[in-house]
Structure 1
Amino acid sequence: MSTQLLAHDTWDGPGPWWPLFPLFWIAFFVLVFGVLGRFGRRRWHRGSFAGESRLAERYAAGEIEESEYRERLAVLRERDT
């Protein structure tokens, strides 16, 4: 039985296209991480988190009152949308 299987074996190897599979997966992961990274850092680049952080520091230090903090925070979040 095994001699019949070996006699009918016509597989010539993976062929010249075998490098396409690893390249496809590499491109896929680069694309996924690139898209996720770009949209995940979108607000950081605009500075809204930095502004909110600085505003929270000023409020915590007592430099501004709660009403002023809430007003400025609303302005920062409104601009971000």
Structure 2
Amino acid sequence: MFTTIALATAPLHPAWGWGPGFWIVPAIFWLLIIGLIITLVATRRRRWARAGWGGPWGPHGVGPWASAQAAHNAETVLAERFARGDIDEVEYRARLEVLRSQQPQPPQG
């Protein structure tokens, strides 16, 4: 790859009489690479947004892991209520079973 770039820029070398032009081809090459990276990042962000979550840039509490986090928070609150004595063991286990059965499954695919 570097050989190809070197050969492509050879006619622009100062020895050929093109002094400042030597930097034009590598500059264009790197600008194209940076543009490609920016395009790929923007495309990925749009795909994540269309999928219903913002990925690393999206709002908190949205995404495939949000339902698991919400269920964990509900189980924590339930465990705290049980520990304080607000509910007895039978009610705790019944509510825990309901919480775990209603947990949405992550999308397959």
TM-score between both structures, scaled by the size of structure 2: 0.46
What percentage of residue pairs aligned between the two structures are identical? 27
Instruction: With a CA cutoff of 8 Å and minimum separation of 6, indicate the structure with the bigger relative contact order.
Output: 1
Task: For residue 38 of structure 1, give the secondary structure of its aligned residue in structure 2.
Answer: coil
Partner of 2:35: 20
Which runs of 5 or more structure 1 residues have no equivalent in the other structure? Answer: 1-7
Paired positions, count: 70
Which runs of 5 or more structure 2 residues have no equivalent in the other structure? Answer: 1-5, 10-24, 49-53, 57-61, 105-109
Aligned residue identity for 1:60: A
- Of 83, 87, 96, 1:73 maps to 96
Q: Shift in Å at residue 25 of structure 1?
A: 5.4
Deviates more, 1:55-64 or 1:18-27: 18-27
Aligned residue identity for 1:38: G
Q: 1: distance between equivalents of 2:30 and 2:87?
A: 70
- 8 Å contact from structure 2 (residues 67, 103) kept in 1: no
RMSD: 3.3
TM-score between both structures, scaled by the size of structure 1: 0.58
Partner of 1:34: 55
